[in-house]
Amino acid sequence: MYAATHRSLAMLKAVAAGRAELTCSSEPDLFVDGLPCCDQSAAHELARAGLIAPVRPGALGQRVPARLTPAGHDVLAAVTAAA
């Protein structure tokens, strides 16, 4: 299972709340409330781990809404259950 940090959990929660966008690229950048995320390496890690993904394809560099994948939902549910 993914070892979530407080920061990565906050990022997952922002995505779940519909407040995030990803750039379309092999290493997508995350934007929350229109602003670039302060930890793009964590955003890349979330994408590589398959926890977040773009809602739809887009042109290279285009921002599209972000979504949680089923694995992302599982991580949030596990953290919530443990709290």
All structural domains of the chain with their residue ranges: 6-82
Angle, CA of 34, 36 and 38, to the nearest 5°: 135
User: How much is the pTM?
Assistant: 0.92
H or E element in which residue 63 lies: strand 63-68
> The tokens 């042109």 sit on which residue?
59
Q: What is the pLDDT of residues 26-80, one digit of tens each?
A: 999 999 999 999 999 999 999 999 999 999 999 999 999 999 999 999 999 998 8
CA distance 18 to 26: 22
Overall fold of domain 6-82: Arc Repressor Mutant, subunit A (1.10.10)
